[in-house]
Amino acid sequence: MLPVLDDAAAGRWCRAAVAALSEARSRLDELNVFPVPDGDTGTNLLLTAEAALAALDAAGEGPGESAWTVLARGAVLGARGNSGTILAQLMRGLADQLAAGPADGPAFAKALQGAADTAYGAVAEPEEGTFLTVARAGGDAAVAAAAEGRTDLADVVRAAADGARVALEATPGQLAVLRDAGVVDAGGAGLCLVLDALVTTVTGVEPARPSLGRRADRHEAGPGGHHHHHHPGDRDVPHQPPAGPGSEVQYLLADADESAVARLQTRLAALGDSLVVVGVDTPTGREWNVHVHCADVGAAIEAGIEAGRPYRISVTPLAPVPPAAPVQGTRAVVAIAPSEGLAELFAAEGVFVVTCGPGGVTEDDVLDEVLGSTAAAVVVLPNDAELAAVASRAAVRARELGREVAVLPTRSPVQGLAALAVADPSRHFGDDVVTMAEAAAATRWAEITVAEQEALTSAGRCQPGDTLGSAEGDVVVIGPDRLAVACELLDRLLSAGGELATLVVGPDAELGDAACRHLSVAHPTVEVVRYDGGAAGVPLLVGVE
């Protein structure tokens, strides 16, 4: 039982919240009918909480900023969608009160109530029966508990979570769109999960709650006792509101002052609705996360340009096009590519490609390609160990939509190319997946990169500018000369044998020429296949089979 909330507890709470939102994401998405029925509230809340946790993990341990401050900044800069942006504002409000030091029960109650007030202030036209209502009820219940003498932190957080749940159950009586669809507010439901995660963090006991769903998880029994669960997208849900015209526009805004942001808010309020603007201090100055639903996307972005420097701009149609039904008996491959050149290489093989941009790749990106292929059975090639989890989460969602999806554990694009080389659509899908996986696993891979900073590697200490030769992800050669390192790396890789070497060459064509010459002299029996168009950060990528 924790007596106070300190930085360590803040981190544990965020981690527990991420786990709870991850588990409930699909259910929250199904509840989502307000402000538009776009089915992404659970996803947006999860992505926002994950951004907060990623910022804390990146900050590491030791002296420095408060964990509350780091979490709030990560949430604001990574907030997604309407509910995610409001969650970020709530976290920022908590950080304003709690960053000074450990908080006992009354201090947390005051902070939660204040955070709910600031969240109301961030929304241009707040509505009751929403996330905001549930947040305010939680804060008020916490303050009331402390005023009644129940000042232990455990009592206060339980009161907050219980008060939020009561308010959640009342939301259909406050918003007609919720009442007509027979659901509680999705954002408020997500906040209840976050507060329950806090109770678990403080007390060590998870609150006993009915599962989320329609009001009291209501469903009807059909013939023979079978239950038919109705989701907001089902055709028999009455009065389902149409998604209004326009798009969700969201961007981060830097290099702006408070007066410019105030003018921006006024202009965006005239252009659309669901306007939320949240500011946070960063090491380079104050930045804002701007979110609005509007028909004139260009005007919303121009308004940001006039106010400051908008970046990480995203535009999402408010009336999402339902995914095409899979064509039975068809098959496709989706590959993640780290560069445009490799993307073209995979596309030439008839593969659906997700290209890594400056912001990386999200599971939504992968899911879009899987669904866009319209194939009933899909193989996904992540081609990077760090993207395997992203691909796997997208696969889970695709399976829920009726696709058969297999994610191969390819750790490099050359392993993906090896898997493609043996793919055979005439085989049974399961057999083809096994064959492709075996080919990928049998391909040893290596790459040449350039050190950006001093570091201790498995091959010794490197300095900025050194050429690094890595095999299977471990640095095995370090040197100042790129060609010498490449030749030694190739020799090491082929010392265990090999019949085919695949080279993917980056912008330095001369390095590719020299590597091919070395192989023809030192390993004349090895067949060499060369592709150009590799990523700029990886001058040479090698696969050996």
Q: Is the pLDDT of residue 95 over 70?
A: yes
222-252: buried (b, 16+ CB within 10 Å) or exposed (e) per residue?
eeeeeeeebbbeeeebeebeebeebbbbbbb
Cβ-Cβ contacts under 8 Å for 314 (sequence gap 6 or more): 248, 249, 250, 251
Which amino acid is located at 517 in the chain? R
Give the per-residue pLDDT at 182: 80
Give the per-residue pLDDT at 232: 30
Q: Is the pLDDT of residue 174 over 90?
A: no
Give the per-residue pLDDT at 243: 40
Cβ-Cβ contacts under 8 Å for 310 (sequence gap 6 or more): 251, 252, 253, 290, 301, 304
Cβ-Cβ contacts under 8 Å for 103 (sequence gap 6 or more): 4, 5, 97, 111, 153
Q: Are residues 199 and 60 in the same domain?
A: yes
47/84 Cα distance (integer angstroms): 8
Half-sphere exposure of residue 159: CA atoms within 13 angstroms, side-chain side: 26
Q: Taking the CB of residue 38, how many other CB atoms lie within 10 A of it?
A: 21
Q: Are residues 335 and 479 in the same domain?
A: no
**Band of the pLDDT at 36, cuts 50, 70, 90?**
low
Give the per-residue pLDDT at 28: 87
C-alpha distance from residue 420 to each of 332, 373, 380, 382 (Å): 11, 17, 11, 13
Give the per-residue pLDDT at 339: 84
Q: Are residues 420 and 451 in the same domain?
A: no
Q: Are residues 308 and 296 in the same domain?
A: yes
276/132 Cα distance (integer angstroms): 12
More confident residue, 246 or 263: 263
Q: Is the pLDDT of residue 37 over 90?
A: no
Q: Is the pLDDT of residue 241 over 90?
A: no
**What CATH number is given to the structural domain containing 15?**
1.25.40.340
67/98 Cα distance (integer angstroms): 10
Angle, CA 277 vertex, CA 244 and CA 28 arms, to 5°: 55
Q: Are residues 513 and 396 in the same domain?
A: no
pTM: 0.57
* Last residue of one domain, picked from the residues 317, 351, 372: 317
Q: What is the percent of the chain with per-residue pLDDT over 90, rounded to a whole number?
A: 65
Give the per-residue pLDDT at 218: 35
Q: Are residues 405 and 466 in the same domain?
A: no
211/143 Cα distance (integer angstroms): 27
Note down the domain range covering 485. Answer: 444-544
Torsion of CA 14, 16, 20, 25, to 10 degrees: 40
Task: Establish if 515 belongs to a structural domain.
Answer: yes
Task: Establish if 336 belongs to a structural domain.
Answer: yes
Report which listed range, 62-71, 207-216, 457-466, is most confident: 457-466
Q: Are residues 267 and 191 in the same domain?
A: no
Inter-residue contact 69 to 31 (CB < 8 Å): no
Query: 123-145, pLDDT tens digit by residue?
Result: 888 888 889 999 999 999 999 99
More confident residue, 526 or 224: 526
5/226 Cα distance (integer angstroms): 46
Q: What is the percent of the chain with per-residue pLDDT over 70, rounded to a whole number?
A: 91
Sheet with 474-479: list strands edge to edge.
474-479, 467-471, 444-450, 540-544, 500-505, 527-532
Give 276's strand partners: 123, 291
Give the per-residue pLDDT at 230: 29
Task: Establish if 232 belongs to a structural domain.
Answer: no
As for how many domains the chain has, the answer is 4
Region 449-456: mean pLDDT is: 92
Give the per-residue pLDDT at 535: 80
SS3 481: coil
Helices 131-147 + 186-203 axis angle, to 10: 30
Give the per-residue pLDDT at 539: 93
Q: Are residues 18 and 117 in the same domain?
A: yes
322 — phi, psi (to 5°)?
-60, 145
Half-sphere exposure of residue 96: CA atoms within 13 angstroms, side-chain side: 19
* Last residue of one domain, picked from the residues 262, 295, 317: 317
Give the per-residue pLDDT at 321: 54
Inter-residue contact 41 to 29 (CB < 8 Å): yes
* Last residue of one domain, picked from the residues 441, 456, 479: 441
Mean pLDDT of the chain: 87
How many Å separate Cα 509 from the centre of its chain?
A: 36
Query: 281-330, pLDDT tens digit by residue?
Result: 999 999 999 999 998 888 999 999 999 999 999 988 876 556 677 888 89
**What CATH number is given to the structural domain containing 287?**
3.30.70
Which amino acid is located at 488 in the chain? E
Give the per-residue pLDDT at 225: 32
Q: Is the pLDDT of residue 237 over 70?
A: no
Region 26-54: mean pLDDT is: 81
